[in-house]
Amino acid sequence: MKIAVVILNWNGKTLLEKFIPSVVLHSHEADIYVADNASTDDSVEYIKNHYPTVSIIQNSENGGYAKGYNDALKHVKADIFCLLNSDVEVTKNWLQPIFQEFESNPETAIIQPKILDYKNKSLFEYAGAAGGFIDQYGYPYCRGRIFNTIEKDSGQYNDNVEIFWASGACFFIRTKVFNDLNGFDESFFAHMEEIDLCWRAFNKGYITKYIGNSTIYHLGGATLKNTNPKKTFLNFRNSLFTLVKNAKGNLPILILARLLLDGIAGIKFLFELKFGHILAIIKAHMSFYTNLSRLLNSRKQLLQKGNYFKTQSIVWRYYVKNSKTF
């Protein structure tokens, strides 16, 4: 079984200098690629000069995470793709449990390892933690992280379990599954495209798993910090995109409920005086309305399957019932 670790880069020389040494040191079983999204810094030259065993794929434009990987992976020959953020430190033997799961269980299509915080290695990291789930209204959450409450890693998630979505920070997928799903939806640009892909995989009967004895450390926020309104825009808009395309049920009711919940989030930002984030939600909704016809056409061409959520409303559980952990 051949695996390719593919790191998407955009003007990320500083991150590559810091994080690629661990990938090269601990990934002897894999071919390593840097897929460059038309960088204007000298990050590509840095890789060529310092890591000649790392292959370079040069994309013609910065198409974000979704298009960047779609374009790059056409040039990669492997049985398994590992899509790895450029701000990730991997650990010794991180690939062995992943190999074992893919080889032992052919039904496993997508895998995520344990993702801890590079800045505080005793905590789970926001983007994925110990595997992702979603509620009926399309709000994602993780084992180890619900909204902004992040758990300490005390071994509570040292298991191998089926999850709903895997984090794009470190995302393993069988090549044949990626191709069967036609890759990422490029209209997302960045943020939540991996959830959309996992949801489409779930609806086609593929299985996504978390492997707790493989560990990485993710810096997070290297491209867009949580305080950036652009991230709020992408998360709110793309979450609505995902819900329309993939959710089974009474779609008008689901969307109306979701828009109302987004409005409540806007009121919360108002009390916090985060006016840029309020504007980001408004822009997200406007973009959603603009794209609604296209999304409904996509929905007609896709499968939708029920039982995708374990809790009806993670917002209700978190803010009303005060349930802060998985």
Q: In sequence order, what are the residues at sequence separation of 6 or more whose Cβ sits closer than 8 angstroms to the Cβ of residue 274?
A: none
> What pLDDT sits at residue 124?
98
Count of structural domains within the chain = 1
Find the DSSP H helices in 121-274: 175-180, 193-203, 229-246, 251-271
Domain span at residue 297 reads 229-320
Could you tell me which of 181, 238, 218 has the C-alpha nearest to residue 84? 218
Residue 208 resides in a domain:
no
Residue 326 resides in a domain:
no
CA distances, 23 to each of 5, 8, 117, 278 (Å)? 9, 13, 17, 39
Residue 16 resides in a domain:
no
- Indicate if the pLDDT at residue 98 is higher than 60: yes
Phi, psi dihedrals of residue 153, rounded to the nearest 5°: -80, 110
Per-residue buried b or exposed e for 196-205, using 16+ beta carbons within 10 Å of the residue's own CB: bbbbbbbbee
> What pLDDT sits at residue 222?
56
> What pLDDT sits at residue 226?
65
Average pLDDT for residues 119-147, to the nearest whole number? 97
> What pLDDT sits at residue 31?
98
Output the CA torsion 116→142→208→7 (10° steps).
-40
Could you tell me which of 156, 259, 249 has the C-alpha nearest to residue 210? 156
Task: Assign 123 to helix, strand or coil.
Answer: strand
Which pLDDT tens digit goes with each residue over 153-168? Answer: 999 999 999 999 999 9
- pLDDT category at 17 given cuts 50, 70, 90 is very high
What is the distance between the alpha carbons of residues 146 and 254, in angstroms, rounded to a whole number? 21
Whether the CB-CB separation of 178 and 227 falls below 8 Å is answered with no
Whether the CB-CB separation of 118 and 127 falls below 8 Å is answered with no
- pLDDT category at 225 given cuts 50, 70, 90 is low
Residue 313 resides in a domain:
yes
- pLDDT category at 221 given cuts 50, 70, 90 is confident
- Indicate if the pLDDT at residue 101 is higher than 90: yes
- Indicate if the pLDDT at residue 151 is higher than 60: yes
Identity (one letter) of the amino acid at 26? H
Ordered DSSP codes for 258-298 = HHHHHHHHHHHHHHTT-HHHHHHHHHHHHHHHHHHHHHHHH
Average pLDDT for residues 269-297, to the nearest whole number? 97
Residue 271 resides in a domain:
yes
> What pLDDT sits at residue 212?
98
Express as a percent the part of the chain with pLDDT over 70: 98
Average pLDDT for residues 31-58, to the nearest whole number? 97
Whether the CB-CB separation of 291 and 245 falls below 8 Å is answered with no
Phi, psi dihedrals of residue 280, rounded to the nearest 5°: -65, -40
Which pLDDT tens digit goes with each residue over 61-79? Answer: 999 999 999 999 999 999 9
> What pLDDT sits at residue 227?
73
Whether the CB-CB separation of 128 and 142 falls below 8 Å is answered with yes
Express as a percent the part of the chain with pLDDT over 90: 96
Identity (one letter) of the amino acid at 301? Q
Which pLDDT tens digit goes with each residue over 166-217? Answer: 999 999 999 999 999 999 999 999 889 999 999 999 999 999 999 999 999 9
Residue 269 resides in a domain:
yes
- pLDDT category at 83 given cuts 50, 70, 90 is very high
Identity (one letter) of the amino acid at 164? F
What is the distance between the alpha carbons of residues 254 and 259, in angstroms, rounded to a whole number? 9
- pLDDT category at 137 given cuts 50, 70, 90 is very high
Residue 84 resides in a domain:
no
Residue 146 resides in a domain:
no
What is the distance between the alpha carbons of residues 259 and 252, in angstroms, rounded to a whole number? 11
Phi, psi dihedrals of residue 3, rounded to the nearest 5°: -120, 140
